[in-house]
Structure 1
Amino acid sequence: MNGLIEWSSLGQVVVAGVIVGAGIPALFALGLRLVAGTSEQASAEPARGDTGPAPGPKGPVVIARPSPLRLAGALLCFGTVVGAIAAGLVFLAAGGHS
């Protein structure tokens, strides 16, 4: 122990905070991005001299279904997030002891 701060314990808390506080939400966002399809929309090109407002959409927006590989990656991301939440709940229910 150096003074009042236990540096190894502080380092463990910081690493756990970064993983739980930023890593899990980032993994969830990655899963959402993988499961979201790409949109394709018919766009009309404006004339070269036209400075008016941009033309609006010319029909329905088509969202393609994600590929099976992207769906599998999203499932892996969501499964990891759910597993981390379940592990945290079990850890807390056990009294916070490993």
Structure 2
Amino acid sequence: MNEYIEWGALGQVVGAGLVVGAGIPALFALALRLLAGTTAPPQERHDASTGPAEVPGPVVIARPPLWRLVGALLCFAVVIGAVASGIVFLAAGGHS
């Protein structure tokens, strides 16, 4: 222990900051990515004079598979639990 710096407490603050400040948003982004579907490849139309061309039309977004939906829900549940526990912690006075 240094005279001015408590290294153990500094490590705890840095660790908590990484988990809360980077881990929770990364988990939220992972959940959003799991929910995002994939776009279908554009259909091609063959014209004898010009060759293949893309057919204009709506973008089709496929529904993600069940395992991705379950993973996204689990990620969202962890994020909501972390936010709720932080609110409860602060409402209780900020100490255990």
Provide the TM-score with structure 1 as the length reference. Answer: 0.83
Is the contact between residue 41 and residue 61 of structure 1 (CA under 8 Å) also seen in structure 2?
no
What is the root-mean-square deviation of aligned Cα atoms in Å?
Answer: 1.8
Are 1:35 and 1:70, in contact at CA under 8 Å, matched by a contact in 2? yes
Does the C-alpha gap of structure 1 residues 57 and 96 become closer, same or farther in structure 2, counting only changes over 3 Å? Answer: farther
The whole-number CA distance in structure 1 between the counterparts of 2:54 and 2:4 is 64
Identity of aligned residues (%): 67
Alignment of 1:83-94 (within 5 A): 83-94=81-92
Aligned residues: 89
CA distance in 1, matches of 2:5, 2:43: 61
**Aligned-pair CA distance for 1:59:** 1.5
- The letter of the residue matching 1:15 is G
Greater strand proportion: 2
1:68 and 2:61 matched: no
For normalisation by structure 2, the TM-score amounts to 0.85
Gaps of 5+ in 1: 45-54
What secondary structure, in the 3-state scheme, does the structure 2 residue paired with 1:64 have? coil
Which runs of no fewer than 5 residues in structure 2 stay unpaired?
Answer: 45-52
